[in-house]
Structure 1
């Protein structure tokens, strides 16, 4: 799932969206929120972090397209929720990859780099 992870590193989104998602990580509950975001029944087992990351990237792409085209169906709250889940899943994936050095993120950058 290296492709999904490198895609996440290159996403550029509005600063407020990223800051909001990072702030929301404090209260993120994977068991409850991920199932809802992916449309899974609460009784179903959650996918691995790699699989969830790929599915969340697809959801985020759709939300970003709606945001950029000024679609009335776009929801800032939904976009923040998906971005929060993306950040959490990326953290889980990176914790399982030993030896991955974090790259330098310039001051003022609005990237998802963790």
Structure 2
């Protein structure tokens, strides 16, 4: 089982966040957006969807914590951008026959949305 089917199925986020991310999938350009979201240097090649998915999950967890604690540094547009990339990488990972299965990270637990 891929990480995308085990972890993403347990995430509970506000409906508006998910709907916005799904809508943004239409215009998502992996080559243009992923490096910026992961903070990669310009000359570095992009990671595989499997690796990118793990890194994006960590970033999304931090954004979700900031959202829940009403941290002033939380950005709705950044959260939507990360969720869009997360959904895109999950789709790529699910359709990749060579991607190994990752165990579900313990740090990500389902949370009840406010």
**TM-score normalised by structure 1 residue count:** 0.81
CA distance in 1, matches of 2:76, 2:33: 16
2-structure distance, mates of 1:67, 1:5: 24
Q: How far apart in 2 are the matches of 1:9 and 1:57?
A: 13
Matches within 5 A, 1:10-89: 10-89=10-89
Runs of 4+ in 1 over 2 A off after TM superposition: 1-5
Displacement of 1:3 in angstroms is: 4.2
Partner of 1:6: 6
- Secondary structure of 2:42's counterpart equals coil
Q: Please tell me whether the aligned partners of residues 32 and 42 of structure 1 are also in contact (alpha carbons under 8 angstroms).
A: no
CA drift at 1:42: 2.1
Corresponding residue for 1:94?
94
Residue of structure 2 in register with 1:107 after alignment? none
Greater relative contact order (CA < 8 Å, ≥ 6 in sequence)? 2
* TM-score normalised by L of structure 2: 0.81
